[in-house]
Amino acid sequence: MKRILLCLTACLLLLSACAISSGLGNMETYSYANQAGYHITLPADWQLIAEDGPSVVFAAPDSGISLTIISELGGEAYYGLAEIADMLIEQLPGSNTPWQISNTITDTKNKLRLSVTGEDEKGTEVVLDMSILQPYPGIRYYLLFATGRANANRQSALIGDILKEFVVDEDVPYLYELMEEWRSLE
């Protein structure tokens, strides 16, 4: 009886693992590099939808998830990441219900990762997996994954792996020079 229960438990765990999205290690990937001093590894089927100076948008064709990356060079250095997150949430597009932080995933001096929920215009729950990375004072990167509630749970391993693959390649002098260049273009 114990052996049957053990086998049944193992099968259920295997089936539930199959229902959850695997991470980057189990799929083809590509690396995207941005002039804002970073590169990121993404699944090979994710498409670049928009690229406009400090922001880029990627979308997975079939899984209903998108990633927006915004580079902020020269942001206010005296705000903490939690304060910045609150200001960002206030600026999110309208929702039928107010955007709410449902979970704090990571909270360190240089990284804040939150799960934020709201609703689209049809009343469907939307989940944002939002990370704010601050590798240097005044230099921030915002990574916003948007998807539905059920998909957020299925994609959590993949989102975590993609976040681990976000790497700032450039040093402070390069980033500050780029910041001055962007300011002159405004």
Model confidence over 41-59: pLDDT tens digits? 999 999 999 998 889 999 9
Q: What is the pTM of this model?
A: 0.83
Model confidence over 88-110: pLDDT tens digits? 888 887 766 788 888 888 888 89
- Percentage of residues of the chain with pLDDT beyond 90: 40
Q: Give the domain CATH number at 107.
A: 3.40.1000.10
Distance CA 65, CA 52 (A): 20
Model confidence over 111-154: pLDDT tens digits? 999 999 988 777 788 899 999 999 988 889 999 999 988 888 88
Task: Count the domains in the chain.
Answer: 1
Residues near 100 by Cβ (< 8 Å), separated by ≥ 6?
116, 117, 118
Domain housing 93: 2-185
